[in-house]
């Protein structure tokens, strides 16, 4: 479908809705896509309206006839997005948010029909509240050059509409207060900005109802130490509240003796840092969950996965036992996943056409997210209660075929490898 058929016109009308504090109303927005007459309460906006900070909304640059990206300036927080998808022709729409977070997958509507979907998007900036005079701390997260310009760290909510025949009719955005799942981790967890790379954290929102938000603070190359030193943990903790969750997965980079400033020994400092993260979450009334790192793709002669993480996964399990924190054993599930594919097909789950043995593509990230969902069901039932109804059980030893997997690609592409390995 030509992009002009996707969206003929857009409307936005500010209204008064949910209040962040008693007596303090917050703005909500209504959008109308196409049609000669906007729906009541919706104001049309021209399709060629480029995002303008002074206006507060508009379209981001994207390839001709490619996915459409629309941004709306909003304060930090969580926002329920309600979409009415469809149009005159049959449509097939996948929706992503911020830096390619998968929110809604293959929403199909027949000719002249519409389908409604809603989800919650977390929006954040890199700003921190300044510490008191003479107190240590920072005023911003120390972003790396790869993060500059990322939709994950700006003052906008960005939605991407992609697929073979995307069609958007109406959209509503309103601030909400819901439980939040915070993710702390490395490149295998983060919202990878560019195709064809992907991580399980950016696939996870697709599996939740619209009564919860996923805030992915993970970043490529991070360790337990660097996540702390760069004020990433400070940022996460500044937003976390009672009733939230904090999923913690580190290990790929912590084990590197050649990174002396961030190396953490499995038997000592690595465990101590994990316990510090757990304590910080609990102090704020949030519920920590530990996740073991997935395997790298290394097979032995018998077709079995070789553990390249040494004692780190067992250190995670031991800390879980000591602290009473649930552990999602992604290490064990990833071995079952890779071994089910076998040495010949397992590269189809990884980046750079399979040359990368650590980082994943959309297929690998999607299956690992299903593994995490399976772990939530068995280890974190109170969080699993927020999963979408009707999700089938998942067996990592019986993954879907990589040859039949389809996920609509995003507009942003890059051949640069993620930090870390």
* Token output for 250: 């580190």
Q: Do residues 349 and 360 make contact, with C-beta atoms less than 8 angstroms apart?
A: yes
What end-to-end distance do the CA atoms of the chain give, in Å? 39
Predicted confidence (pLDDT) per residue in 238-289, tens digit: 999 999 999 999 999 999 999 999 999 999 999 999 999 999 999 999 999 9
Residue 143 confidence (pLDDT): 97
pLDDT (average), residues 316-343: 98
Say if residue 9's pLDDT is above 80: no
What is the Cα–Cα distance from 246 to 251, expressed in whole angstroms? 16
Around Cβ 44, how many Cβ atoms within 10 Å?
20
* Token output for 417: 């490898």
Residue 10 confidence (pLDDT): 37
Q: Do residues 134 and 162 make contact, with C-beta atoms less than 8 angstroms apart?
A: no
Residue 203 confidence (pLDDT): 98
Say if residue 316's pLDDT is above 70: yes
pLDDT (average), residues 351-365: 97
Say if residue 20's pLDDT is above 60: no
* 370 φψ region: left (φ > 0), alpha (ψ -120 to 50), beta (else): alpha
pLDDT (average), residues 367-396: 98
* Token output for 248: 């913690």
Domains and CATH numbers, the chain: 1-177 (2.60.120.430), 178-421 (3.40.50.1110)
For the chain, what is the radius of gyration of the CA atoms?
21
- Given strand 168-176, what is the order of strands in its sheet? 13-21, 24-32, 168-176, 77-86, 114-123
Among candidate residues 144, 154, 200, the one with its CA nearest the CA of residue 330: 200
pLDDT (average), residues 36-60: 80
Confidence of residue 297 (pLDDT cuts 50, 70, 90): very high
**9-11 vs 44-46, strand pairing mode:** antiparallel
Confidence of residue 383 (pLDDT cuts 50, 70, 90): very high
Say if residue 124's pLDDT is above 90: yes
Nearest 10 degrees: Cα torsion 227, 256, 373, 76: 20
Around Cβ 378, how many Cβ atoms within 10 Å?
11
What is the Cα–Cα distance from 45 to 23, expressed in whole angstroms? 31
The residues near 156 (Cβ < 8 Å, ≥ 6 apart) are 51, 71, 72, 73, 74, 123
How confident is the prediction for the chain on average, in pLDDT? Answer: 92
């Amino acid at each position: 479908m030509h992009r002009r058929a996707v969206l003929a016109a857009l409307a936005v009308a500010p209204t008064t809705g949910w209040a962040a504090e008693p007596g303090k109303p917050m703005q909500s927005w209504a959008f109308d896509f196409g049609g000669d007459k906007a729906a009541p309460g919706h104001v049309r906006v021209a399709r060629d309206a480029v995002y303008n900070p002074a206006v507060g909304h508009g379209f981001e640059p994207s390839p001709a006839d490619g996915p459409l990206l629309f941004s709306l300036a909003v304060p930090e927080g969580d926002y329920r997005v309600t979409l009415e998808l469809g149009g005159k022709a049959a449509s097939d729409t996948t929706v992503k948010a911020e830096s390619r977070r998968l929110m809604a997958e293959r929403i199909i509507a027949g000719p002249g029909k519409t389908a409604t979907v809603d989800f919650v998007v977390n929006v954040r900036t890199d700003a921190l509240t300044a510490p008191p005079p003479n107190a240590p701390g920072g005023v911003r997260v120390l972003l790396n050059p790869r993060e500059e310009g990322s939709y994950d760290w700006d003052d906008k909510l960005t939605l991407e509409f992609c697929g073979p025949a995307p069609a958007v009719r109406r959209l509503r955005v309103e601030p909400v207060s819901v439980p939040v799942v915070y993710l702390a981790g490395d490149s295998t967890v983060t919202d990878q900005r560019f195709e064809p790379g992907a991580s399980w954290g950016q696939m996870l929102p697709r599996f939740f109802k619209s009564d919860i938000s996923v805030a992915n603070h993970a970043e490529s190359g991070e360790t337990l130490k660097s996540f702390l030193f760069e004020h990433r943990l400070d940022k996460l903790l500044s937003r976390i509240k009672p009733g939230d969750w904090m999923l913690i997965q580190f290990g790929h980079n912590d084990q590197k003796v050649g990174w002396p400033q961030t190396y953490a020994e499995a038997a000592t400092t690595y465990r101590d840092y994990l316990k510090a993260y757990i304590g910080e979450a609990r102090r704020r009334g949030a519920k920590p969950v530990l996740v073991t790192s997935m395997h790298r793709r290394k097979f032995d002669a018998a077709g079995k996965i070789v553990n390249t993480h040494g004692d780190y996964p067992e250190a995670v399990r031991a800390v879980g036992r000591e602290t009473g924190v649930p552990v999602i054993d992604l290490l064990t599930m990833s071995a079952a996943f890779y071994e089910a594919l076998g040495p010949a097909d397992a590269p189809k789950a990884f980046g750079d056409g399979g040359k990368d043995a650590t980082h994943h593509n959309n297929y690998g990230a999607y299956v690992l997210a299903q593994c995490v969902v399976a772990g939530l069901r068995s280890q974190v039932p109170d969080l699993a209660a927020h999963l979408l109804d009707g999700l089938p059980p998942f067996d990592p030893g019986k993954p879907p075929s990589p040859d039949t997997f389809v996920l609509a690609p995003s507009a942003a592409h890059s051949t640069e490898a993620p930090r870390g390995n």
